[in-house]
């Protein structure tokens, strides 16, 4: 049975809104809401405010009263709905009962249950008023902030709101209250776009190192002194470290003693022992991180200072000596810790000296070895390369010419990789061999067509480290080990640590431990390579923005109906051109940039001729 006080025309509270009972039954009652709906509910779903009679909810007009006077009289005490209605509105009626309920809902002066209403003290009222004023001011500040975002500007005080946008843009969180309030999809790209539009980030802000959590500074770890140990004196040999202009980590050099080619490599393993703190940090990073705005090394800077070839008058090295047969076969390998005297020169300087006797001899050896690789099926893909640099937010992109001096250095490093592979096999030394399976199809690259180079690159299978020697199809080598960049690559350092252990009569790592460490380093390598790729793409687009209506040549390298993939050599950039089914592979066209979208790393070009 329903409560005896519930009857037709009573005023009740239903879901915090007024309602009038229109009919009663044994277990249910019908009510009419202030929205004009009739609802059948249980008695426990409503709260009685006044027994009535209330003929219409429209009669609940706001009564005049002395609410403040009633509050001041009762402050700090407890009262009831009936008592408060009589004191504040001079009577207990449906209208005054609803007025008291609204005062309770407001919560400034009164709170609690209908039969035990707490009357707030003056201090409590002041606190509530201050809180509400602060909330209102905050809401106003928030709305003003949203208006600024929509108009494309920001103010200094917006820092606190933009924090979640920055975090989303850097993929440090998945949601943003700001983007949600602006009705935008909560993606890192949209967050990036908003920060650019508001001027909070400039176009030269590169988010990718932070987004991918790449290392932003070199490790700060102490290195030991160079051990006092026997080294072969090779300082009488003229040795050259040939690298790009401005390179900061010279870790290899070349010389010739009349019989042997010598490749000298920075002796990093002399200072970085397996599993010491520096080794562990380098393993976490995997490689040096090369960005247009600068390089972040995997080793402490002191490693380069102490070991970089040509940075001091005499440098410690691990020297790889080898002979080359007339057929280009590497034989008679020796590996020795050494002292070397190295001169640093650029590729361009070396190119100008190729007619000198020493350089001519080195280049002849390089050609002989390259010919052997070609006979072994080497796949020579020569696509355009560029170097991107950022100096005081200005971007420069420089094409790397196909210099013979680059070929010389490349072949010498590959010879060294073969020499190390031979040495490891001869001495049963666990080593990570670089292996690449042949592609399913070999294309004719003899005419140098970029479209063929582009297609062949897509057919190449990824190289991978293996415990056993096997063919590296892309290089045309029966076995090969990367070993000439221990300052730059952890895998090369690992090879040097194995060689050092063997040369000094110590126990080298077993294959399982070796590959476990190489696998650990691969995670850092993946992060660095992806960071480099995305950062280079970012700065290419910044360059196009800075150049304003950039124009240049493009080559059609792939076709799919009306969609053409073109390669822009001066930018080392691939993009799509639509709506030109008349274009043919290797057609040379002039394009002009028409749109640059930094957050999505997308560009559009139009064909000029």
In angstroms, the first-to-last Cα distance of the chain is 90
Structure tokens at 392: 């005081």
**Is the dihedral angle over the CA atoms 406, 412, 416, 418 positive or is it negative?**
positive
Q: Name the strand (E) or helix (H) holding 607.
A: strand 602-607
Residue 16 burial class via C-beta count within 10 angstroms: exposed 0-12, middle 13-18, buried 19 and up:
exposed
- Integer Cα distance of 34 and 354 in angstroms: 96
Whole-angstrom CA distances from 395 to 467, 545, 548 are 42, 10, 13
CB atoms within 10 A of CB 565: 18
Give the pLDDT confidence score for residue 92 in this predicted structure: 96
Give the pLDDT confidence score for residue 579 in this predicted structure: 85
Question: What domains, with CATH codes, occur in the chain?
Answer: 11-122 (no CATH), 123-202 (1.10.10.10), 232-369+384-428+481-524 (no CATH), 433-480 (no CATH), 548-607 (2.40.50.140)
Give the pLDDT confidence score for residue 247 in this predicted structure: 82
- Integer Cα distance of 112 and 155 in angstroms: 43
Give the pLDDT confidence score for residue 159 in this predicted structure: 94
Q: Are strands 342-346 and 239-243 parallel, antiparallel or unpaired?
A: parallel
Given the structure tokens 């790397």, which residue do they identify?
A: 400
Instruction: Give the residue ranges of the chain where pLDDT is below 70.
Output: 1-4
Structure tokens at 550: 């950039």
CB atoms within 10 A of CB 475: 21
Structure tokens at 505: 């009569």
- Integer Cα distance of 286 and 62 in angstroms: 74
- Integer Cα distance of 457 and 566 in angstroms: 15
Give the pLDDT confidence score for residue 175 in this predicted structure: 96
Give the pLDDT confidence score for residue 1 in this predicted structure: 32
Alpha helices, DSSP H only, in 396-480?
Answer: 404-426, 450-459
Task: For 467-478, write each residue's pLDDT tens digit.
Answer: 999 999 999 999
Give the pLDDT confidence score for residue 609 in this predicted structure: 75
Whole-angstrom CA distances from 432 to 276, 490, 511, 566 are 20, 12, 9, 37
Give the pLDDT confidence score for residue 2 in this predicted structure: 40
- Integer Cα distance of 92 and 13 in angstroms: 16
Give the pLDDT confidence score for residue 249 in this predicted structure: 86
Residues shown for the chain: 609
- Integer Cα distance of 316 and 309 in angstroms: 8
Residue 330 burial class via C-beta count within 10 angstroms: exposed 0-12, middle 13-18, buried 19 and up:
buried
Report whether 124 contacts 134 (CB < 8 A): no
């Amino acid at each position: 049975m329903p409560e005896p006080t519930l009857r037709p025309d009573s005023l009740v509270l239903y879901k915090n809104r007024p309602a009038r009972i229109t009919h009663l039954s044994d277990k249910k009652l019908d009510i009419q809401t202030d929205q004009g709906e009739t609802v059948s509910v249980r008695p426990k779903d409503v709260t009685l405010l006044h027994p009535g009679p209330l003929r219409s909810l429209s009669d609940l007009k706001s009564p005049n009263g002395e609410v403040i006077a009633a509050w001041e009289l009762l402050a700090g005490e407890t009262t009831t709905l009936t008592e408060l209605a009589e004191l504040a509105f001079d009577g207990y009626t449906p209208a005054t009962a609803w007025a008291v309920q609204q005062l309770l809902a407001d919560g400034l002066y009164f709170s609690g249950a209908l039969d035990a209403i707490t009357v707030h003290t003056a201090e409590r009222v002041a606190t509530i008023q201050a809180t509400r004023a602060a909330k209102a001011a905050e809401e106003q500040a928030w709305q003003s902030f949203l208006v600024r975002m929509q108009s494309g500007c920001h103010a200094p005080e917006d820092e606190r709101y933009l924090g979640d946008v920055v975090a989303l843009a850097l993929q440090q969180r998945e949601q943003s209250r700001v983007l949600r309030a602006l009705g935008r999809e909560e993606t890192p790209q949209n967050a990036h776009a908003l920060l650019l539009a508001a001027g909070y980030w400039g176009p030269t802000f590169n988010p990718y190192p932070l987004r991918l959590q790449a290392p932003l500074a070199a490790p700060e770890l102490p290195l030991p002194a160079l051990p006092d140990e026997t080294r072969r004196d090779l300082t009488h040999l003229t040795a050259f470290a040939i690298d790009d202009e401005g390179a900061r980590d010279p870790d290899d050099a070349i010389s010739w003693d009349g019989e042997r080619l010598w490749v000298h490599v920075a002796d990093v393993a002399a200072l970085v022992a397996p599993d010491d703190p520096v080794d562990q940090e380098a393993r976490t990073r995997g490689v040096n991180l090369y960005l247009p705005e600068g390089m972040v090394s995997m080793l402490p800077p002191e490693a380069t200072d102490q070991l970089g070839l040509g940075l001091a008058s005499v440098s410690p090295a691990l020297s790889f000596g080898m002979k080359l047969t007339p057929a280009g076969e590497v034989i008679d390998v020796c590996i020795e810790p050494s002292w070397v005297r190295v001169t640093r020169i650029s590729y361009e300087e070396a190119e100008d000296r190729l007619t000198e006797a020493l350089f001519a001899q080195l280049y002849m050896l390089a050609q002989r070895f390259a010919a052997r690789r070609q006979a072994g099926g080497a796949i020579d893909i020569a696509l355009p390369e560029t170097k991107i640099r950022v100096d005081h937010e200005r971007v420069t992109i420089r094409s790397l010419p196909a210099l013979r001096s680059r070929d010389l250095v490349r072949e010498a490093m590959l010879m060294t990789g073969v020499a190390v592979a031979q040495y490891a096999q001869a001495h049963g030394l666990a080593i990570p061999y670089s292996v690449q399976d042949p592609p399913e199809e070999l294309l004719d690259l003899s005419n140098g067509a970029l479209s063929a180079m582009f297609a062949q690159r897509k057919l190449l299978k990824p190289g991978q480290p293996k415990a056993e020697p096997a063919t590296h199809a892309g290089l045309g080598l029966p076995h090969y080990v990367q070993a000439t960049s221990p300052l730059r690559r952890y895998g090369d350092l690992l090879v040097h640590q194995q060689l050092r252990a063997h040369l000094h009569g110590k126990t080298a790592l077993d294959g399982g431990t070796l590959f476990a460490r190489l696998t650990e380093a691969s995670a850092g390598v993946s992060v660095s390579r992806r960071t480099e790729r995305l950062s280079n793409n970012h700065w290419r687009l910044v360059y196009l923005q800075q150049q304003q209506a950039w124009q240049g040549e493009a080559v059609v390298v792939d076709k799919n109906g009306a969609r053409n993939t073109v390669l822009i050599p001066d930018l080392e950039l691939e993009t799509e051109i639509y709506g030109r089914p008349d274009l043919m592979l290797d057609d040379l066209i002039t394009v002009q940039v028409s749109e640059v979208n930094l957050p999505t790393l997308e560009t559009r070009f139009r064909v000029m001729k």
